[in-house]
A and B are shown apart, each in its own frame.
Chain A
């Protein structure tokens, strides 16, 4: 698999509740928190605003 999926993200994707939480943050395009195995993870979405395209901004606005 060539996509970049870290071990933490892989664990989140395997947990249905955490995955759902992550998905909603990604849909909104805003930072948030995900709880997994008693630990809290911060989802930081806009790691760079420089590369963000106008289309990206439009998707975030439209949800």
Chain B
């Protein structure tokens, strides 16, 4: 028996744990959901731990269904040690050859069950908002919660019920000609293979030079829909993509858009509601 076979078998046995972790972290395909992929070494450690639990559960289940897997033979293959003079080798080979279809079925069904369990786990956590309630279930993807405004729903941030219709992003980007302040409404964002924030997609993007900041204490000119802030200019196009690696600082404003009904409270002149 070659050296590679025990390694391959170990991989096949650990695979259910990795599948469970992966499907839990990724969530259902097509869902806008926080993903939380960790480093490969970390994933592997979690995979081994979960695989042990899954095998224990699956062994109980298949034994009830009448299949008696030869666990001892599996251990011997994994260890690569068949006793003095390879006295157990024949027994192991006979066991593997005799129950090969059963072992294959056991593993394939466990892979499928792991994928389904991870997926359902992710769905349950998101549907029941367990990740908002407790850090235990929170996915390791803080950017997702920040850029969608879900961070406001965290229990430690004063609880549920505050409405967020959009997230307004301000970011400083350095160019050869100077620093610019880019602003816009977060429309989408992507992560790289390591799970780190890669790009942020803005709708209604506009920018101005950072040196055009108002002096501290300088009088504010009336800026509003009737008197737009001339320092900014709109960036043509439907979306602007900012690379996270090129951002120097980043700020987020969460805002709500509420339909006004009935009387409107008194507001400063420039903020008066428009009359239809």
| A associates with B | yes
Which B residues lie within 8 Å of A28 (CB)?
223-224, 229
CB nearest neighbor in B for A34: B257
Taking A55-B249, A61-B216 as contacts, is the C-beta distance between A47 and B255 under 8 angstroms?
yes
Taking A4-B165, A53-B251 as contacts, is the C-beta distance between A13 and B260 under 8 angstroms?
no
Interface residues of B in 217-236 (CB under 8 A from A): 220, 223-225, 228-229, 231-232
Q: Are B257 and A9 in contact (CB under 8 A)?
A: yes
Which B residues lie within 8 Å of A50 (CB)?
157-158
Q: Are A27 and B204 in contact (CB under 8 A)?
A: no
**Is the contact region of chain A dominated by helix, strand, or loop, or is it mixed?**
mixed
In Å, the complex CA distance between A11 and B254 comes to: 18
Closest chain-A Cβ to B69's Cβ sits at a distance in Å of 43
Taking A2-B148, A21-B225, A24-B225 as contacts, is the C-beta distance between A47 and B256 under 8 angstroms?
yes
- Chain A residues with a Cβ closer than 8 Å to the other chain, count: 48
Which B residues lie within 8 Å of A43 (CB)?
255-257
Which B residues lie within 8 Å of A56 (CB)?
170, 251-253
CB nearest neighbor in B for A19: B204
Most chain B CB neighbours (cut-off 10 Å) among A2, A29, A50, A55: A2
Q: Are A27 and B229 in contact (CB under 8 A)?
A: yes
The 8 closest A-B pairs by CB, nearest first: A62-B213, A6-B165, A21-B225, A33-B273, A3-B186, A40-B260, A2-B32, A44-B256
Interface residue ranges, B against A (CB under 8 Å): 32, 144, 147-152, 157-158, 162-168, 170, 181, 183, 185-189, 201, 203-204, 206, 213-214, 216, 220, 223-225, 228-229, 231-232, 249-260, 264, 267, 271-274, 276
6 A-B pairs besides A1-B32, A42-B260, A50-B158 with CB distance below 8 A are A4-B167, A5-B203, A8-B165, A23-B232, A27-B232, A47-B255
